[in-house]
Structure 1
Amino acid sequence: MRKGTFAKLFSVTTAVALAGSLVLPLAPHTAHADRGVVDLWKAIKPLTTIASAMNTGAHPDDEHSATLAYLSLGKGVETSSIIANRGEGGQNEIGSELNNALGIIRTRELEEASKVTNVKLGILSEDTNDPIYDFGFSKSPDETLEKWGEEEVYERLIRKIREHRPDVLIPAFLNVPSTHGHHRAINVITVRAFEDAADPRVFPEHLERGLAPWQVKKLYVPASEKEYDVRVPVGEYDEIYGASYLQLGEESRFMHKSQGMGRHYDEGPGFNYYKLEKSVDGLNAKGKENKTAAKEPDFFEGIAYTFEDLADEVRGAPGGGKLAADLSKLQKDADEVIAAYPSFARVAEKVHKMLTDVQQAKAAVQAANLGDGVRADLLHRLKEKEEQLNKASAEALSLVAKVKPETGELVAGQTTQVTVTAYNGGQVKWDQVKLQLHVPTGWKAKAVGSTSVSQLGYNQTAKAVYEVTVPDNEAYFHPYEKPVMTADVAVAAFGSTSVTNAVPSDAVAVLPGFSLSTSPSATVWNTFKPYEVIPVKVTAKNYHPGKANAEITLALPSGWTAEPKSAPVSFEAKGETKSVAFTVKPSAAVKPDQYTITAVARGNGKESRHGAQVIRYPHIGTTYFVQPAEVTIQAFDLNIPEGIKVGYVSSGFDNIDQYLQLVGVNVVPLSAKDIESGDLSQFDAIVLGIRAYGFRPELIPSNARLLKYVENGGNLVVQYHKPEDKWKPELAPYPITIGTPLIEWRVTDENSKVTMLAPDHKIFNTPNRITDADWDHWIQDRSAYNPSKWGKEYVELIQNGDPGEEEFTGTFLTANYGKGTYTYSSLVWYREIPGLVPGAIRLFVNMVSLKQ
């Protein structure tokens, strides 16, 4: 059925006066005059095919970016990427945000990455603290699906398949033991969904939402050069984009900055390989039974790829002749659009002609005597084509649509102005330009003046102003919901009307009228010092549009007291902040446990117990995380040596130093100058943060100074590293080799049994006695990137492993060196200490207190 590939219908020589490679570094770039030509091609290429493909993965950055770029940007295939969770359990290479705040960052990065490759994005996790959460590394798909809720994650995947209706399905990973359990789980349910998405008995409630069952045609899985059915030429150089598809894919990966993704690749041949795992009856599964069979030319062999293919499918149906003619006409229209490139005006004319023909074809499909399945399939593909044509029209007409709120930070009950504009940067004069603002149900949007113009010429702007009122009871901003404001710009040209959707450049958020933050947000109360009080500072930011007054109090556990009991604050303007200091006295009856203090602001007729964390980075813009304004207090017994002074070398991936300060340790952050030439002997201990050798360039040249510090009586603590962090065994005083592959050298069960191999060692006894109870209530993991070999001089402190696996004894190593001590630990302190895990804090204090 597959038709021949499109011939080159235009000369690229006029279009290739482009800026070169789009694989750009992280800094902002000057706008290039040729980007309109590239964006125009990006918009019209999808008109040439009706095929679709879906890639599934577990986390942001799991997408097969080069393959997606080839399919979407190179072939014009309707391409979607479905990701399970939002990466909340990972590390952050650009800031200190972790957990849900990190998930928000990674979601925005994924959204921006998807824009680069023109890919439709779907995320199975729908909320903060969603069951489909990145709970950390897993070795097992069964564990992953159990924690996520297998039925829930499977229903959401089936729903996405039925929404997007892909012809080809490609999980990003294989279900093999060497792979992350999250990746394996997505493979398991994607393979299973190949049949189940087509079965009306599976999640029949989808029919009530208008989602019909859908049979994917082919399922491919990653393969190798030695055994594959399809190889994707990602190294092909595209003259229009000025880059290979591998490079274009990496341009999208550069958006994953919180994970340090994106690499620069040279030009040249390269391939990604895939094996056909399943297919519907009648499609040849080449390479399965007959190993000598010819390879498939691409994913879509035997699948309808063009409108002409669809015409062939319906031509034999009753009354299908006219419908086939309508579909063939769309093929001709698409060819004419491509032939008109790079003339913007000619492309616009052909796009609007095709838009008219698509709308006529939709009516013809509705009227034709077709089976429900065929009709639904055709209408879905025509609807997608209509969406693509609207985008193509905007590019060809050089339409720039914008939604510009007077402010993006709103409070419930507020009224503000929002301006919608449409700029004509092209040579085609538009007719009947209409600008419509959309707001959620319950909001009011009243136009102030006209919302349409009869004509708009080159370099002219149409404008509509709306007065928008937020309901008094409106919920706070949610980072994963659709924008609360969008606009449609309808433009008539060449006999048809296209509609362009626009959203504000940054999030428009309904925030607490008084946004509260607490300092600290989490702390320890030492039950050995019941006479001590807890200082709590509450900072309130006024988001009301003008003056406002509030009374700040603390909601305390029973029997606790605060001085003052309340404090008034007054604001003269929006954005102003005021702080109030409280002294909290725990009840005399407090026992080791976790307690919560909540900040409360009452004023302007409302009460707020929440704060809005502003998340702002250049590559993702501004968004917010609204959460309760709380102080978490962990009460437990803790001994701290008097006057201990610790130097901390942060890699930027953890904030352990801040928590050590909270419990009473004098911690000094060390700069490059301190490490290179400062007086290290003043410190009782020096701690290197996780992966510090990879991200603090002064460390390796200064490593001899650090070891000399130990030799002279110092205490050096080194947290885990990966081999790629420039770690070498000889950086330690006695060699330490990190185990590879890394997946096999970690303990993911936070409840796994820990055996102390040297229970009489000082590290387990001074100044805090460590017992088995101190290994309880750890979170997410035990250890990562454990050593596989180490010098005989080290004392092996613990033995630990995941259930059913061989236990590690190199997780926690310490040795005397000269007059001092050197400790290397792969325990995940960076999660446990901010998590206020009592045993981890007690043990970390012992570790920095260690002396010969």
Structure 2
Amino acid sequence: MRKRTYPKLFSLLAVFVLAVGLVLPLSPQTAHADRGVVDLWKAIKPLTTIASAMNTGAHPDDEHSAMLAYLALGLGVDTSSIIANRGEGGQNEIGSELNQALGIIRTRELEEASKVTHVKLGILSEDMDDPIYDFGFSKSPDETLSKWGEEVVYERLIRKIREHRPDVLIPAFLDVPSTHGHHRAINVITVRAFEDAADPAVFPQHREQGLSPWQVKKLYVPATEKDYDVRVPVGEYDEIYGASYLQLGEESRFMHKSQGMGRHYDEGPSYSYYKLEKAAAGAEGPDFFAGIAYTFKDLADEVRKTPGGGKLAADLDRLQKDADEVIAAYPHFARVAEKVHRMLADVLQTKAAVQASSLGADAKRDLLHRLAVKEEQLNKASAESLSLVAKVKPESGELVAGQKTRVTVSAYNGGTVTWDQVTLGLNVPAGWSARPLGETRIRQLGYNQWARAEYEVTVPADAAYFHPYRPPAVTADVEVTAFGATSVTRAVPADPVAVLPGFALAASPSATVWNTLKPEEAIPVKVTVKNYHPGKADAQIALDLPPGWAAEPKSAPLTFAAKGETKSAAFTVKPSAGVKPGSYAITAVARGNGKESRHGAQLIRYPHIGTTYFVQSAAVTVQAFDLKVPEGLKVGYVSSGFDNIDQYLQQVGVDVTLLGAKDIESGDLSQYDTIVLGIRAYGFRPELTASNARLLKYVEDGGNLVVQYHKPEDNWKPELAPYPITIGTPLIQWRVTDENSKVTMLAPDHPIFQTPNTITDADWDHWVQDRSAYNPAQWGDEYVELIKNGDPGEKEFTGTFLTAKYGKGTYTYSSLVWYREIPALVPGAIRIFVNMVSLGQ
């Protein structure tokens, strides 16, 4: 096949923001220098094409950002990004949130990243604890699809394809052994979906949801410079935006801050490469859209060939003329607004003509879908060209069930066109009520004028709590009539309107160990309560305990003077006699104002994603097992910010001090029996490399240094260890992903397996999400290899857990994923870790 570089149709930018139905949300955003004429161009460029494309990936940050920026911003193509899971199983480089809370952060980052590249976002994972979750690294697409539920994930992907109806489909990865199993799985089902999305026998229930089969025209897969069919010039520099598409793509990648994404690229030629994998009949051309209708003129030519299609073809030709006139009017706002509204009226007339035509059902559906996309884009273009600022402001975004509040909807006219009419509507969930407190329709609104409407909103007594993956609960629709046509702009609040527990509870600790060797010890539980009621409130706080357990006091009264006030109650919990090893739950309960609450509301707030909440059960997980901890054990912990193991060591009776830069550079290290470096610490604590000689001298003088896993890019050098340790590459090949894989202790009599806790094979049971990551490939003969372990059917690693005497002390390097096992309260992992940090005594 002939190789071809993409033609530069227009060296300009376009935007398509995430739409709900036929209405585009206009989110409040920080003002930037690229507003005004730049935003106007972004809004009108998509009117020039009716083509569409979809990129599929597994995790937030998998999207091909530069290519998406080129398609959506540069060509104006209706572009979508479909991601499988929410990244719950990853690490967090900006905070301590993990698991579901991390999934919330990564979802918001993905949403903000999609705004930058102006693509429609779809996520296959629909809920908390969804079957399509990020369960950690996988080496196999079969394992991934088995855990996700192949039927579940495939149905949802087919549904997204039938909803978005892309002309071109592009999986982000190949199905090759060197690639993450999640990535491979998405490739497998995306390639299969090329045919199946068009097959009415595949998921026929979609018909009941109003979705019809859809035949994608072309399927492309990632390629290399040496073997490709399409070369996308992502390095092209756009004069209006002042950046290349590669740089614009990286702007979106910088939004993935919890993963440390985003790079700075210099200007200059750069390309992304793709190879044609499959094509429908008649669409075999040499680039993404060759052989596919790209403009309204192309669509008109196709329709003109159908019986009775002449009139519709003329309508489509008129839309092509409208789009050309909109572009020609740029950058004059009033002229663009007039042309946009004329085109909007013509789109609505064409939709009616299609409905009334004798075209076949499939042809009608295709035309109506493309016209609906244009209507969405024209709504956005109207808002930009009219300089409409639409806002919705609640008195408070934090509500409780049964509460009444007021919400103001406003529209500001910043342009020279006088609007004939403005209607300010408020949207609330089913069961809620929104009563206007005055006029909602205003006749004529001129330059520098505001229109406002106030609503009284009532939240029902049985309203569901806030869910971060649901659409906004409260939005506003601002309808503006100008030049004989009415556009609709949807506004969302700056922060979400969230129904929260009236008394939001946080139990501390959220997870703890109860040592069965010390049955006389009690479990301290602190319950912090925040009042979200809109005024004074009284509550009785108690603990829901396992049978036979007791709490002192049985309950505690709390009185709140105002909303937002926070108070706490302390309890001492005594387990019943003869508690057996196992997992137990303690749940905090608040009763007051006629209701009972058992939930907390974790506030998640970062500058790049704004505010959101994680409503979850206010429970304490108690893991009961036997654990020996040496008296007076003193540990210095060097955190990279990626784990909280130090907190769990403190819970089990270890004296832990977090070490700062000055402690490492010049402090008295000899006061610590053990110093522990958190995962990837050399990469995020620069003082460690500079002070490494001090750390090795600490070991040589009798100290115990424990180093957790690193990647090569974490400033790791083999010589940082007293005897060289080289981390294996490629990293994908040097990890064990099966948490149930067999572990053999190679040195069972070593103190790490004997003192103070005797470690048996049972201590390797019930681990979670992987065994090890980034294992060493080479190490000095001085090290004792403590275990061997590998995924089933693969070679076992013997460098996962290494320890050596150095001078009078001990140096231990471990690639076991302690940062997941310890917070999960895995008994064996805690026992081994305590033994490891006890070597210094």
Q: Please give the range of the TM-score, normalised by the shorter of the 2 chains.
A: over 0.9
Pairing of 1:475-624 with structure 2 (within 5 A): 475-624=464-613
Cα offset, 1:9, TM superposition: 11
Range that drifts further, 423-432 or 552-561: 423-432
Given the superposition, is the C-alpha separation of residues 9 and 684 from structure 1 closer, same or farther in structure 2, using an over 3 Å criterion? closer
The corresponding residue for 1:15 is none
Distance 1:698 1:5 in 2: 50
Instruction: Give the SS at the match of 1:318.
Output: coil
Instruction: Give the SS at the match of 1:43.
Output: helix
Instruction: Give the SS at the match of 1:723.
Output: coil
The corresponding residue for 2:239 is 239
Given the superposition, is the C-alpha separation of residues 234 and 564 from structure 1 closer, same or farther in structure 2, using an over 3 Å criterion? same
After superposition, what is the alpha-carbon deviation per residue over 1:25-45, rounded to whole angstroms, capped at 9, x for unaligned?
xxx998445421111111111
- Tell me the TM-score normalized by structure 2: 0.97
Matched, 1:325 2:314: yes
Q: Does the 8 A contact of 2:9 with 2:75 survive in 1?
A: no
Cα offset, 1:319, TM superposition: 1.9
The corresponding residue for 1:50 is 50
Pairing of 1:68-217 with structure 2 (within 5 A): 68-217=68-217
Given the superposition, is the C-alpha separation of residues 528 and 645 from structure 1 closer, same or farther in structure 2, using an over 3 Å criterion? same
The corresponding residue for 1:254 is 254
Matched, 1:435 2:424: yes
Cα offset, 1:8, TM superposition: 6.4
Cα offset, 1:318, TM superposition: 2.3
Distance 1:589 1:201 in 2: 59
Q: Does the 8 A contact of 1:516 with 1:610 survive in 2?
A: yes
Amino acid paired to 1:72: A
Residue of structure 1 aligned with 2:638, choices 649, 659, 662: 649
The corresponding residue for 1:759 is 748
Cα offset, 1:797, TM superposition: 0.3
After superposition, what is the alpha-carbon deviation per residue over 1:102-146, rounded to whole angstroms, capped at 9, x for unaligned?
000000000000001110000000001100000000000000000
% same residue: 82
Instruction: Give the SS at the match of 1:183.
Output: helix
Q: Does the 8 A contact of 1:714 with 1:820 survive in 2?
A: yes
Instruction: Give the SS at the match of 1:93.
Output: coil
The corresponding residue for 2:818 is 829
Instruction: Give the SS at the match of 2:145.
Output: helix
Amino acid paired to 2:186: I
The corresponding residue for 1:769 is 758
Distance 1:591 1:36 in 2: 67
After superposition, what is the alpha-carbon deviation per residue over 1:677-698, rounded to whole angstroms, capped at 9, x for unaligned?
0000000000000000000011
Distance 2:11 2:236 in 1: 19
Residue of structure 2 aligned with 1:425, choices 410, 414, 418: 414
After superposition, what is the alpha-carbon deviation per residue over 1:546-604, rounded to whole angstroms, capped at 9, x for unaligned?
00000001000000000000111000000001100000000112011000000000000
The corresponding residue for 2:20 is none
Q: Does the 8 A contact of 1:512 with 1:611 survive in 2?
A: yes
Amino acid paired to 1:264: H
Range that drifts further, 332-341 or 149-158: 332-341
Instruction: Give the SS at the match of 1:558.
Output: coil
Matched, 1:371 2:347: no
Pairing of 1:806-821 with structure 2 (within 5 A): 806-821=795-810
Instruction: Give the SS at the match of 2:534.
Output: coil
Given the superposition, is the C-alpha separation of residues 232 and 5 from structure 1 closer, same or farther in structure 2, using an over 3 Å criterion? closer
Residue of structure 2 aligned with 1:315, choices 304, 317, 325: 304
Cα offset, 1:363, TM superposition: 1.0
Instruction: Give the SS at the match of 1:417.
Output: strand
After superposition, what is the alpha-carbon deviation per residue over 1:235-292, rounded to whole angstroms, capped at 9, x for unaligned?
000111110000000000000000000000000000000000001122327xxxxxxx
Unpaired stretches in structure 2, ≥5 consecutive residues? 14-27
Distance 1:347 1:447 in 2: 33
Amino acid paired to 1:241: Y
Instruction: Give the SS at the match of 1:205.
Output: helix
Matched, 1:785 2:774: yes
Distance 2:9 2:575 in 1: 78
Q: Does the 8 A contact of 1:69 with 1:245 survive in 2?
A: yes
Cα offset, 1:501, TM superposition: 0.5
Residue of structure 2 aligned with 1:662, choices 625, 629, 651: 651
Distance 2:731 2:214 in 1: 39
Matched, 1:701 2:662: no
Given the superposition, is the C-alpha separation of residues 686 and 664 from structure 1 closer, same or farther in structure 2, using an over 3 Å criterion? same
Instruction: Give the SS at the match of 2:572.
Output: strand
Given the superposition, is the C-alpha separation of residues 30 and 466 from structure 1 closer, same or farther in structure 2, using an over 3 Å criterion? closer
Amino acid paired to 2:723: Y
After superposition, what is the alpha-carbon deviation per residue over 1:358-404, rounded to whole angstroms, capped at 9, x for unaligned?
11111111111101100000000000000000001001111011110
Matched, 1:359 2:344: no
Cα offset, 1:495, TM superposition: 1.1
Amino acid paired to 2:360: G
Distance 2:282 2:31 in 1: 50
Q: Does the 8 A contact of 1:597 with 1:632 survive in 2?
A: yes
The corresponding residue for 2:707 is 718
Amino acid paired to 2:697: K
Instruction: Give the SS at the match of 2:36.
Output: helix
Matched, 1:337 2:339: no
Distance 2:141 2:94 in 1: 30
Distance 2:486 2:724 in 1: 71
Distance 2:344 2:351 in 1: 11
Q: Does the 8 A contact of 1:9 with 1:339 survive in 2?
A: no
Instruction: Give the SS at the match of 2:372.
Output: helix
Cα offset, 1:851, TM superposition: 4.0
Given the superposition, is the C-alpha separation of residues 402 and 365 from structure 1 closer, same or farther in structure 2, using an over 3 Å criterion? same
User: Alignment RMSD, CA only?
Assistant: 1.5
Cα offset, 1:316, TM superposition: 2.1
The corresponding residue for 2:675 is 686
The corresponding residue for 2:372 is 383
The corresponding residue for 1:20 is none
Q: Does the 8 A contact of 1:9 with 1:338 survive in 2?
A: no
Amino acid paired to 1:465: E
The corresponding residue for 1:64 is 64
Amino acid paired to 2:102: L
Given the superposition, is the C-alpha separation of residues 32 and 181 from structure 1 closer, same or farther in structure 2, using an over 3 Å criterion? closer
Given the superposition, is the C-alpha separation of residues 172 and 644 from structure 1 closer, same or farther in structure 2, using an over 3 Å criterion? same
- Equivalent residue pairs, number: 823
Instruction: Give the SS at the match of 1:687.
Output: strand
Amino acid paired to 2:265: Y
Instruction: Give the SS at the match of 1:35.
Output: coil
Distance 1:690 1:722 in 2: 9
Given the superposition, is the C-alpha separation of residues 44 and 627 from structure 1 closer, same or farther in structure 2, using an over 3 Å criterion? same
Instruction: Give the SS at the match of 1:79.
Output: strand
Given the superposition, is the C-alpha separation of residues 104 and 684 from structure 1 closer, same or farther in structure 2, using an over 3 Å criterion? same
Q: Does the 8 A contact of 1:747 with 1:783 survive in 2?
A: yes
Cα offset, 1:752, TM superposition: 0.1
The corresponding residue for 1:727 is 716
Unpaired stretches in structure 1, ≥5 consecutive residues? 13-27, 286-295
Given the superposition, is the C-alpha separation of residues 7 and 89 from structure 1 closer, same or farther in structure 2, using an over 3 Å criterion? closer
The corresponding residue for 2:449 is 460
Cα offset, 1:727, TM superposition: 0.3
Q: Does the 8 A contact of 2:334 with 2:416 survive in 1?
A: yes
Distance 2:611 2:32 in 1: 25
Instruction: Give the SS at the match of 1:86.
Output: coil
Matched, 1:415 2:404: yes
After superposition, what is the alpha-carbon deviation per residue over 1:655-700, rounded to whole angstroms, capped at 9, x for unaligned?
0001111111110000000000000000000000000000001110
Given the superposition, is the C-alpha separation of residues 664 and 691 from structure 1 closer, same or farther in structure 2, using an over 3 Å criterion? same
The corresponding residue for 2:23 is none
Distance 2:609 2:533 in 1: 26
Amino acid paired to 2:660: S
Q: Does the 8 A contact of 1:429 with 1:455 survive in 2?
A: yes
